[in-house]
Structure 1
Amino acid sequence: MIIVEEVQNQHQKKEFLVFPTQLYQHDKNYIRPLDNHIEEIFNPEKNKFFKGGECKRFLFKKDHKTVGKVAVFINKCYEQDQPTGGFGFFDCINDQPTANFIFDHCKNWLQQRGMEAMDGPINFGERDKFWGLLIEGFEEPLFGMNYNFPYYKELFENYGLKVYFEQLCFTRPIFTEVSRVFTIAYERNKRNPAISAQPMKKNNLEKFAKDFTEVYNKAWASHGEGKQLEEAKVLKMFNTMKPIINEHISWFVYENETPIAMWINIPDLNQWFKYLNGKFGIFQKLKLLFLKQFKKNEKMVGLVFGVVPEWQRKGIDGYMIWEGTQHLRKHTDFKVTELQWIGDFNPKMVKIAETLDTTVTRKLATYRYLFDRNKTFERHPYL
């Protein structure tokens, strides 16, 4: 018999964090997320989505031992064709009846609140973290990325969950030969005296926040689910990121003084955080400073790549890639770059990633389960 416990006290919160470390203790690729990053998601004072939503965490126990956990939630900002809730932070032993019990619990909880479907595993927040089930590429996860055993896919699909969309991660080794297309684009654009490339500098974040906002809004404002960004919020984000910004790996391209393209990367923090065992107290912060100084980080993560519409298909992307790559090869230890996931429903962005001389090395999937089993299932529409 499985006992359900809602996570309420400190002991249960600790168990929610610790259970995955026990489950994955023999998996060399598992990296424990920082406890405080997980806890902030479930803190109404830290997570703005509590203002219009509801979220609960549960532990599932059998014979006094934890056999699974999950978070289930309603996010009013998550607009779908039918009222759709979500579940995430799912972990479970390799046992289909146990998984079915957890999924049933999520479904019942959501049905009681008027939902007609559930998506998972997703985050009670933005899509940039803890979103999707790993189905290919079982390697060390990037910072903020879900990791799970291969058998999770069977647990999901045997229950009846179906892939709503796939999330593609593209990788490119830094020292592979740069595409001839990029070389030609670079040579053509470097002859234009109005075109220049600049790396992001920490001492001038106000300027780069302004330039980022301008390029992003021009490139993405009308692009599918894109939305306008505010300069003040971008600056706040940049200031938060300041300790991890590497001035050699984020680039902007300008026509005279006007920003026309950007390529934003950060180091993969998991290459350092994997030595902290989920903790981030004073000792771990000192250890992180030591690691950053003496432990080479060979992986960077591509966050945003964009070119304003009037400069698209003119080789500016190739110019920027060539200029940035030549520089970071000389000034950093990075050997590979991986782009954060791109949904398969976004063929334009998939095409851009493919033109950057990348290959798909990791896939995640967002699953959907319709409570009315007679209703026709449809995948995420193309943008």
Structure 2
Amino acid sequence: MRIVEVLDQTHQKDFLDIARTIYKDDSNYACPLDAEIEGIFDPKENSFFKHGEAGRWILQNDEGKVIGRIAAFINTNKAFSFDQPTGGCGFFECVNDKKAAFLLFDTAKEWLTVRGMEAMDGPVNFGENDNHWGLLVDGFMPQGYGMPYHQKYYKVFFEEYGFKVFFEQYSYHLDLKKPFPERFWKIAEWVAKKPGFTFEHFSYAKSEKYIQDLIAIYNEAWKFHDNFSPIDPEDIRKMALDGKGVVEEEFIWFAYHEGNPIAFFVMMPDINQILIKMDGKFNFWSKLKFLYNLKKKAITRARISIMGVVPKYQRFGVESAIFWHMDKVMKRKPHYKEVELSWVGDFNPKMISIYESVGGVKMKTHYTYRLLFDPNKPFKRTPIIPLENRGSKAKEKKVVERGE
């Protein structure tokens, strides 16, 4: 077997095509767009190259056939904030051959070690954690857009190599044909109509205002969390521009208290329901196919990708009030039958409670693993932040640590 670094167009194509080969007989797999994956490894497209670097490789067998791939990356804004400098690996795909899988893991580990890393998370993305993050271990069904799909045997590869679960990620499903619990609606309506609180949805006509509001909320809501880094406004502007024509303006909501932004909620149509028919291509004909399916309302599922609330308001039920407004929107769009609430970490009991309170059912589980290069060092899982300890910098430091 031979490891080959991806440095030219031929090997870029090999890197993309091996995923199509691995899943060619799996009807649940929706191949991400080639352009999206290539954009992650393009410094002109991915702002994480401003504070990091990435490498990627394919694996060939003795006959020269591609049988696997992996990528490795370092985000210098976060790498040195852990007990040990930590990089990441991702976009792992491999035939059912442990020796081949371990050679791919070795390659990523060696690349990170040379650059001063002492641990490796995986499978993760060279970007924000709302996309391409975690290994699917339960719920082998069609995934929401951005949520990765994997072969069942990958779990054995990661764990036998020495990776341990750093945190678990859960995706809940909400059947829109079933009514929300009555008690939930009473609380949600009371908060939604409370004096001083206002709610409005995104519009492209005022996109810059909402982008700035989202950034303000995000930076305030996450600034006391471990490994926080401020969000890049250009990333948000690019996402808004790329999503034009697909984004439902009434699926993105903002909450304000006395005019100040305090919460945001982002839900997107699950375009995987169309992409699953396109095999990762977005040429002229596939664009026509995409637009045709979009117009005929082929998308029946939406995915909640992120929600943020300023700590001061995290006990006010703002999330419930947003759901109250969203319910009215969904009743005007009856072709949507289901919402995926993803993903929530096992370290976030408050959000898990909210998902369950609206009737969400846990359907999928992904693992984010961590490998310590020195196995003698103590392994710690992502700490759980107790509900009563949220809301201030001092209190955020009081966390529950979990051993291996």
- Report the equivalent of 2:384: 382
Counterpart of 2:374 (choices 372, 375, 381) is 372
- Report the equivalent of 1:105: 107
Give the conservation status (yes or no) of the 8 Å contact 2:181–2:357: no
Q: Which moved more, 1:173-182 or 1:229-238?
A: 229-238
Counterpart of 1:273 (choices 258, 268, 275) is 275
Percent identity over the alignment?
Answer: 39
Distance 2:369 2:232 in 1: 32
Residue 120 and residue 187 in structure 1: after superposition, are their counterparts in 2 closer, same or farther (change >3 A)? Answer: closer
Distance 2:68 2:89 in 1: 13
Structure 1 outlier segments of 4+, above 6 Å: 230-233
- Report the equivalent of 1:162: 164
Shift of residue 242 of structure 1? 2.8
The amino acid across from 2:315 in the alignment is R
Shift of residue 198 of structure 1? 3.3
The amino acid across from 1:13 in the alignment is Q
- Report the equivalent of 2:26: 27
Q: Which moved more, 1:174-183 or 1:46-55?
A: 46-55
Q: Secondary structure at the match of 2:77?
A: coil
Residue 340 and residue 193 in structure 1: after superposition, are their counterparts in 2 closer, same or farther (change >3 A)? Answer: same
Distance 1:106 1:317 in 2: 40
Where does structure 1 lack aligned partners over 5 or more consecutive residues?
none
Q: Secondary structure at the match of 1:72?
A: strand
Give the conservation status (yes or no) of the 8 Å contact 2:4–2:58: yes
Q: Secondary structure at the match of 2:48?
A: helix
The amino acid across from 1:26 in the alignment is D
Equivalent residue pairs, number: 382
The amino acid across from 1:285 in the alignment is K
Q: Which moved more, 1:76-85 or 1:221-230?
A: 221-230
- Report the equivalent of 1:42: 41
1:133 aligns with 2:135: yes
Give the conservation status (yes or no) of the 8 Å contact 1:137–1:363: yes
What TM-score results when the alignment is normalised by the length of structure 2?
A: 0.85
Shift of residue 201 of structure 1? 2.8
- Report the equivalent of 1:147: 149
- Report the equivalent of 1:181: 183
Residue 261 and residue 90 in structure 1: after superposition, are their counterparts in 2 closer, same or farther (change >3 A)? Answer: closer
- The alignment yields a C-alpha RMSD, in angstroms, of 2.6
Where does structure 2 lack aligned partners over 5 or more consecutive residues?
386-404
Give the conservation status (yes or no) of the 8 Å contact 2:304–2:342: yes
Shift of residue 187 of structure 1? 4.4
Q: Secondary structure at the match of 1:77?
A: helix
Counterpart of 1:252 (choices 251, 254, 258) is 254
Shift of residue 376 of structure 1? 2.0
Q: Secondary structure at the match of 1:198?
A: strand
The amino acid across from 1:75 in the alignment is N
What TM-score results when the alignment is normalised by the length of structure 1?
A: 0.89
Shift of residue 51 of structure 1? 3.7
- Report the equivalent of 2:390: none
Distance 2:158 2:120 in 1: 12
Distance 2:258 2:88 in 1: 47
